[in-house]
Amino acid sequence: MNLPTPALKIAAGMAWFCGAVSAFAAPPNVLFIAVDDLKPALGCYGDTQAITPHMDRLAKSGLVLLNAHCQQAVCGPSRASLLTGRLPDRTGVRDLQTRMRDVHPDLLTLPQHFKNSGYFVQGMGKVFDGRSSDGWDTQDIPSWSTPLLNARGTRCIGHYADESAFRAVADAKKAGTWDGDKIGAIMGLKKIGYFPSVEMADVPDDGYDDGALAKMAARTLETLAKKSEPFFLAVGFAKPHLPFVAPKKYWDLYNRERIDLAPFREHAEGAPKFSYHHSGELRGYSDIPGVPAKGGPLPLTDEKQRELIHGYYATTSYVDAQIGLVLDKLDQLGLKDDTIVVLWGDHGWHLGDHGLWCKHSVLEQATRAPLIFRWPQRLKEKRVNSTPVEFVDVFPTLADMAGLKTPAGLDGRSLVPLFKDASKFESLPARSQFQRPLENNAQRMGYSIRTERYRWTEWRQTNYTAGDYSGPVVAEELYDYETDPLETKNLAGTPERVGLEKELREKFRARFPYLGAGVAAAAK
């Protein structure tokens, strides 16, 4: 049933009033900013190389969570988990092929919960992963009040803004000979659909997609400001995801010769080989060599590694500027004090550490990501907290902040106590997982917990797609971030750590109670 606007306003107010006590005099708006592949390479997280003034500005009046971890370090599973408040073993989304509503048709999502509570909910850009929802153009139809919006850069051909390619495609379209599948050939590459990992075209910000998306978000805020019901606006930026493409001026912010390479580029001593991967996502680009016959790190020169790291920071600065444009519009419209802002990266990213690139692991650089909340009526100054938190906490936290009822069955908990008295907030380890295939299609999953100091990981042979978690532990990892922040040595199995291992195993069992049990245990 479609309610008229006054009825929606009343419904929103009642939903807010019936929920938890809110710091707002009326239902607050929510600006929900997702940033693809964003690790904590930000000034507000202590990165001295990063030039990110706008995200740093947001952090100056927000809660900055230094020890926030995704549930699974790859786009689809991480987003499905955060946006439903459920662990990957409960959503069933652990890869880039499974659609969450094929597994659970009645799944309730975070934006859907706000929509059901009287909010006008608009999504744009990459919020869900299209492969784990119902497609890139819709991204879970039940979640939105109106169809999802997408923006294309004014100079973009695919992800790229190469001038010669742009002109060649424009000419082909004008002549009626463009078939949409010859970008690689036009760019002089050996293989159609095979592109470089970096680009720095001298174009305006909206020449690439994220600049166009930021302008669309600003226009949308102008429209939403006129509505009588509160809004939930989800904006999903694409960078710094590969390829590292951004306007030249953002590359010019950095001196490549001064960019630091990863200080530790080897596998950890004593770690199982399958804890690592061959950086397959990066290998799909035309300027990246293949993996050596015996496996191991990609044979990248120091020069190429610096170029890639340069590209990551340049694209981060680019998306930072776009976030700044959206935040500025919020201020200009007088919405700042009435709007909760949450900013998150869907997982971290390896930049050569352990010889790895991309995400796809349960190591620190892959699981840890930025998570910042700005709650104007509750917090005026920056607050930093190092308590372990998880992305499944975002759903119950936003519901609590907005005064909505928290749905039953979520795997996370509200972080609102961290805005009040953090000493009363129980510290629980953050959970992450990632799979590695075994021979003969057998399944192996690495389950990991992160405490304030340690990471404990158990690799288990399971039949998780069938819901059977009863398989044996095949390897363990233990890292102490106080003495070994770079994860250079796996301490599991060392005699002097027996007591610590017992303690961490108990914490692990408490956080993953279904492991070691039989079929369908995770769903209970």
Higher pLDDT, 403 or 188: 403
Lowest mean pLDDT among 12-16, 432-436, 502-506: 12-16
Whether residue 387 is predicted with pLDDT greater than 80 in this model: the reply is yes
| CA proximity to 255, closest of 196, 314, 182 | 314
Question: What's the fold here for domain 438-523?
Answer: Arylsulfatase, C-terminal domain (3.30.1120)
> What DSSP character marks residue 514?
T
Higher pLDDT, 59 or 165: 59
Q: pLDDT-derived band of residue 159, with 50, 70 and 90 as boundaries?
A: confident
Helix axes 75-84, 394-401, angle to 10 degrees: 40
Average of per-residue pLDDT across 160-185: 71
Whether residue 250 is predicted with pLDDT greater than 50 in this model: the reply is yes
Average of per-residue pLDDT across 451-457: 98
Half-sphere exposure of 55 (CA within 13 A, CB side): 31
- Tens digit of pLDDT for each residue in 202-245? 999 999 999 999 999 999 999 999 999 999 999 999 999 999 99
Phi, psi for 82 (deg, rounded to 5): -60, -45
Higher pLDDT, 8 or 179: 179
Q: pLDDT-derived band of residue 186, with 50, 70 and 90 as boundaries?
A: low
Lowest mean pLDDT among 20-34, 302-316, 468-482: 20-34
Whether residue 441 is predicted with pLDDT greater than 80 in this model: the reply is no
Cα gap 11→229, rounded to integer Å: 9
| CA proximity to 235, closest of 109, 341, 382, 161 | 341
Q: What is the DSSP track for 222-266? A: HHHTT-SS-EEEEEEE-TTSSSEE--HHHHTTS-GGGPPPPS--S
Whether residue 479 is predicted with pLDDT greater than 60 in this model: the reply is yes
Whether residue 509 is predicted with pLDDT greater than 90 in this model: the reply is yes
Average of per-residue pLDDT across 92-119: 97
Q: Same CATH topology for 5-157+199-422 and 438-523? A: no
- pLDDT, position 158: 77
Lowest mean pLDDT among 115-129, 265-279, 342-356, 460-474: 460-474
| Residues ≥6 apart with Cβ < 8 Å to 336 | 330, 376
Is residue 78 a contact partner of residue 346, using CB atoms and an 8 Å limit? yes
pTM beyond 0.85: the answer is yes
| Residues ≥6 apart with Cβ < 8 Å to 505 | 456
Which residue matches tokens 């001298």? 202
Whether residue 524 is predicted with pLDDT greater than 70 in this model: the reply is no
- Nearest 5°: CA angle at 87, between 95 and 131? 30
Average of per-residue pLDDT across 467-479: 93
Mean pLDDT value across the chain: 90
- pLDDT, position 2: 36
Is residue 15 a contact partner of residue 324, using CB atoms and an 8 Å limit? no
- pLDDT, position 9: 44
Give the Å distances, CA to CA, from 291 to 189, 252, 262, 305, 355.
20, 31, 19, 15, 12
Cα gap 440→422, rounded to integer Å: 48
Whether residue 520 is predicted with pLDDT greater than 70 in this model: the reply is no
Is residue 229 a contact partner of residue 283, using CB atoms and an 8 Å limit? no
- pLDDT, position 292: 65
Would you list the domain boundaries of the chain?
A: 5-157+199-422, 161-194, 438-523
Which residue matches tokens 């892959």? 366
Average of per-residue pLDDT across 425-451: 92
Whether residue 181 is predicted with pLDDT greater than 60 in this model: the reply is no
Residues facing 372 on adjacent strands: 64, 343
- pLDDT, position 194: 58
What is the b/e burial string over 373-402, where b = at least 16 CB atoms within 10 angstroms of the residue's CB?
bbbbebbeebbebebbbbbbbbbbbbbbbb
Whether residue 193 is predicted with pLDDT greater than 70 in this model: the reply is no
- pLDDT, position 10: 43
- Tens digit of pLDDT for each residue in 369-383? 999 999 999 998 999
Q: What is the largest CA-CA distance in the chain?
A: 74
| CA proximity to 119, closest of 236, 221, 233, 24 | 233
Number of residues in the chain: 524
Average of per-residue pLDDT across 9-31: 60
The CATH architecture that domain 5-157+199-422 belongs to is: 3-Layer(aba) Sandwich (3.40)
Share of the chain above pLDDT 90, in %: 77
The listed range with the strongest mean pLDDT (155-159, 250-254, 417-421, 459-463) is 250-254
Whether residue 24 is predicted with pLDDT greater than 60 in this model: the reply is no
- pLDDT, position 219: 98
What is the b/e burial string over 215-247, where b = at least 16 CB atoms within 10 angstroms of the residue's CB?
bbbbebbeebbeeebbbbbbbbbbbbbbbbbbb
Cα gap 451→455, rounded to integer Å: 6
Strands (DSSP E) contained in 27-176 are 29-35, 63-65, 68-69, 120-125
Intra-chain end-to-end CA distance of the chain, in Å: 33
SS3 371: strand
Lowest mean pLDDT among 29-43, 89-103, 456-470: 456-470
- pLDDT, position 5: 39
Higher pLDDT, 155 or 4: 155
